[in-house]
Homo-oligomer: A and B are copies of this chain.
């Protein structure tokens, strides 16, 4: 099959201007030009356009797309599989946003309380995704599947009121931590209050509190980039500070 600009445009759901632009920048040249100067595209161009649109959908710049698909080492199959992975990631991202909007509705209706951080989950893009991929497994291996699963289970069983309380606590922790950071002293009253709030918060998700586990978790906040990032949003070094405060609080600071 041969297509003129407009026909291909309609087939692919892009404008003819777009196709001319792609020709202009050398991204997609027609198979040939007929005697009247019309652009004529063939099936090879169709496949190429499809590839281009996949990349475009993923937000890749046209110049980069050009380099990618023109490179001699370009492996379509591998590229497609990468497309799939990224699309699935984007889908997860979207699901996060949907959760966010649902939470925001609940927040609006007064059913739950959202922290400021929470209000923007899903908007920040890959950073979190990447970390999840990098550290997700590792965490489970390091700190035990059991504990993670059990805490998940317990979370599912919470009443809405309890859940709201939990969220309020979380917000309070962040606020107090921020205040405590200005003292600079993990042994300060404010820092110790933060640690105590954190213990209360844990009690919602843990079956049994122990100082050992609490101290272990605090160390994790420093070791694991996901958590470090979470707390360091307040201020660089916040995770470390929180850990130190908790180590003092639990008496494991030696």
Contacts and interface: CB of A to CB of B under 8 A. Distances in A.
B54 A101 contact: yes
Given A10-B130, A91-B98, A233-B11, A50 B80 contact: no
B101 A87 contact: yes
Interface residues of A, number: 46
Interface string A101-144: 11011001100000011011001110100110000001000000
19 contacts: A1-B116, A1-B175, A10-B127, A10-B131, A11-B116, A12-B120, A14-B123, A43-B116, A46-B116, A47-B119, A53-B120, A53-B123, A76-B108, A77-B108, A77-B109, A83-B101, A87-B98, A91-B94, A94-B94
Interface of A: 1, 10-14, 43, 46-47, 50, 53-54, 57, 76-77, 80-81, 83-84, 87-88, 90-91, 94-95, 97-98, 101-102, 104-105, 108-109, 116-117, 119-120, 123-125, 127, 130-131, 138, 175, 233
